[in-house]
Structure 1
Amino acid sequence: MIPAKIQSALWSRPRSRVEWGFCLVLLAMMGAGAAWLASHSGAEDWGALRDWFATIEGDTSLKLRTADFVRGGLMLSAISWIAIGAILWLTRHWWLFSRSQDHRGKTRPDRQFLLGLALILILAAAIRLPRLNLSLYNDEVDVFRTAIAGSFDGKVLDDPTNPAPAGFREVTWMETVWGNRIGNNHVLHSILARAGYDAWRKVSGAPPGTVREWPLRFPVLLGGLLSIALIALIARQIASAGLPNHHLGSRLGLISAFLLSIHPWHVRYSTEARGYGLVFGFAALAFFFLLLAMERRRWRYWLAFGASQALCLWACLGSLHLIVGLNLVTGLTLIWPARHP
């Protein structure tokens, strides 16, 4: 006989359409992952996954093809779907069947707060816009050559006696989305930057390989500005929950946004053609939706919280440390909630 607690964890009848929907999604995740592993269990697929990890860790000697990155990435996705689906399934009684509602701190920003935030965003943009056309350097150049535009034939360029013209090889979209030969392709940024760069080339008529910096950095600028706006809302929300006067919370939110708008490191990384500025924006968005989810207990906020984390990881895999820490704190908060008078 299976103990009642184990039997309940493995299966208990959902009590609403929402619960049925989530259970079906989890079962579909685990089923799809298992089906993929069952149909791709050869040595070549597992070898691609092993080489994928080695490349991410900095091994540039493997010279993987784009198809190898696709194969290894899909294997990792299948394993992740099974593991995450199983964890969520076994713990669903803690998070799926909760019916408590809490609407603390549900206040709308006032007009003065929004006006002040708009002025701070204008200041932040004015500081950052002149930096968008600075020359590319270091990793920006590597990603421009390997994931966005392409590169010339280096052998021809290095041989002054060779009369043949240097050929330019454009990067394919498959390489932009999946390729990571030198382990530093921030995929979401590369996709957005390439879309902007290709649009600029089409409008300007520039030949392949022409360097134009601002289309590569503009998506990152938007991510940085988003983080400034969200830090104001987050600080206001947190401060207002513990202050008798919500205007004090608004002031603290504006002060936080102003300090972030002029912070030198934020200025740098929100104008660098890499994924870090997008991480600023999506990490702040994840925390913002987490606050709403914890206060209002609505599924749409929890789903937005998860989607923001996915975008954060897509922008830069290095944000995994932040995501793990954020979820650990969230889990501890749900297990041991604070007591409110």
Structure 2
Amino acid sequence: MPEPKTSRGDYLGLALILALAAALRLPGLNSSLWHDEVQTLITHVRLPWSEMLQSYSMNHHYLHNIAAKVSVSLFGESAWALRLPALLFGLGTLWAMWALARHLAGTAIAHVTTLLLALSYHQIWFSQNARGYTGLAFFSTLGMLLFLRGIRRPRPGTWIGYGLCLAAAVFTHLTGAFFFAAQGLVWLALVVWRGLTGRLDAATAGLPLMGFAIGAAVSLALYLPILPSLIETVGGVSGSSASDVMQEYQNPLWTAFEAIRTGIGQTGPLVGLVGGAVLALSLLGAVALGRDEPLFAPVTFGHILLTVVLLMAVGMRIWPRFFFADIGFLMLLIVLGVRLACAIAGQILGGERLATGLFALAVIAMLGISAVLAKRNYALPKQDLEGAYHFARQLAEPGTRVYAVGYAGENFSLYGADWPIIYTSAEYRAALAEPGPVVLIVGFPERTFRDVPELARDAGVGAGDPCGPGGAPGAVLVTARCFAGTLGDGGLIVFVRG
């Protein structure tokens, strides 16, 4: 398929979409950090440069953290400076997706796809998240463009660039390798097919191999200082996951449900309907694109399947964020699927003009729905640690003991708190055995109530919602206030005992 010509108007359209995307991502950029962001700051970004690559942790997104440290060094320590690299990578992903969609389906489809991503709840959320996921999406999207171009017109420069994208993604997070592994499997299948049909040439076999080799070599060199720690950490993933009280996190059905629920902000039958529509339109889009670019859909679906299989094989939690890089690819397939559905309807009912009109109406509807769903990004912080901290300080009169409960408690040191942290039932019983007023700040309540069942009992969780009107009836602990957030299980509950 020849590369489409691009006019000044096309570039102006892209610039306007990127400007809109930036405007949508700036509000809230300086809001309260959530657990993983705080840990990124405290345990990595604040370290001296010489100590940032001394040991491996699944929580460290190394390339992103280096960029975040540069940003904080330049602009001072603040939430917006820590999140600036994620914002820039998010905008870069939109540009890369526009270039990819234009390459595959033309400028009009590229504009629609990119505009939908600019309004996307998930894309906005992660562009304001001081983690490496927008970086992964950027390098994966650029890698997809180079992969498809390199297969169609094999050139050394294309595959060198591809190898560098691979290394950058893997150095951001190890799961970045899964996407490029999916491409590698598709390439191997292509080599076998062309070999069997007598159409295999040296460039198709050799240059992609060079790209993968460059990516692997650079990745290994980057991780070499912490390779023993990396191997030890990855080897221990299965054991830690097996003892996790949140076993549903290892279920791909939970992952799919959670990804859709966070996007639409609702549970129940609507989640299944949305999931079915996404799958059906994506498959229809794969059919629409199959003749012009048969490798795109297999890579997209292959990455999702391969990630699930590999994570289940090592017993690792299957977080929805591991599939964030696929949002742009699925969005393109959905847009193409909608266009094909409108074309079929137009052909049955009244011709090409009707099909064009139906597609225009469908695009307007999709944009309107995306804009409405995106509003939730601005209603709440991701996790209101700062609000819970200040509220607890106000409650803590002289003689009152304050405890943080659960892993979120590790983050209050950011505000200067030195509250003891309760992780287990034994620690909880010891803390409440002493008489006197107590304030408890519970983070990640669903997990924490399972980790500390006595806390759940005293809060009356089994008898009602502790954040419902009046709290749980008959509870030993009284709910003083609940702080909601957009993060899954990211709420905080402040309990008091008089």
TM-score with structure 1 length normalisation? Answer: 0.55
Aligned to 1:172: 48
What is the Cα deviation at residue 283 of structure 1? 0.7
Structure 1 residue corresponding to 2:146, chosen from 259, 282, 289:
289
Aligned to 1:309: 166
Structure 1: gaps spanning 5 or more residues: 1-103, 150-170, 202-210, 240-248
Aligned to 1:263: 120
Which aligned runs of 4 or more in structure 1 are off by greater than 6 angstroms?
Answer: 338-341
What is the Cα deviation at residue 296 of structure 1? 1.9
What is the Cα deviation at residue 179 of structure 1? 3.3
Aligned to 1:9: none
What is the Cα deviation at residue 174 of structure 1? 2.6
Structure 1 residue corresponding to 2:84, chosen from 218, 222, 231:
218
Deviation per residue, 1:268-308 (Å, 9 max, x gap): 11210000011111111111111221222111001111111
Letter in 1 for 2:83: R
- For the residues of structure 2 that align with 1:179 and 1:198, how far apart are their CA atoms? 22
What CA RMSD, in Å, does the superposition of the two structures yield over aligned residues? 2.1
Alignment CA distance shift 1:297-1:172 (3 Å)? same
Letter in 1 for 2:166: Q
Aligned to 1:129: 26
What is the Cα deviation at residue 263 of structure 1? 1.0
Aligned to 2:75: 200
Deviation per residue, 1:217-243 (Å, 9 max, x gap): 11111111111111111111112xxxx
Letter in 2 for 1:318: T
1:185 and 2:185 correspond: no
Deviation per residue, 1:23-50 (Å, 9 max, x gap): xxxxxxxxxxxxxxxxxxxxxxxxxxxx
What is the Cα deviation at residue 316 of structure 1? 1.6
Deviation per residue, 1:232-272 (Å, 9 max, x gap): 11111112xxxxxxxxx210011111111111111111210
Q: Compare relative contact order (CA 8 Å, sep 6+) and give the higher one, 1 or 2.
A: 1
CA contact (8 A) 1:193 1:217 kept: yes
Aligned to 2:183: 326
SS in 1 for 2:130: coil
Matches within 5 A, 1:156-171: 171=47
1:253 and 2:110 correspond: yes
Structure 2: gaps spanning 5 or more residues: 200-290, 293-498
- For the residues of structure 2 that align with 1:172 and 1:297, how far apart are their CA atoms? 43
CA contact (8 A) 2:132 2:173 kept: yes
- For the residues of structure 1 that align with 2:25 and 2:193, how far apart are their CA atoms? 42
CA contact (8 A) 1:178 1:187 kept: no
Structure 1 residue corresponding to 2:41, chosen from 144, 165, 178:
144
- For the residues of structure 1 that align with 2:9 and 2:187, how far apart are their CA atoms? 32
- For the residues of structure 2 that align with 1:178 and 1:142, how far apart are their CA atoms? 16
Deviation per residue, 1:293-341 (Å, 9 max, x gap): 1222111001111111110111122222222112212332343259999
Matches within 5 A, 1:79-98: none
Aligned to 1:158: none
- For the residues of structure 1 that align with 2:169 and 2:16, how far apart are their CA atoms? 27
Question: May I ask how many residue pairs the two structures share in their alignment?
Answer: 198
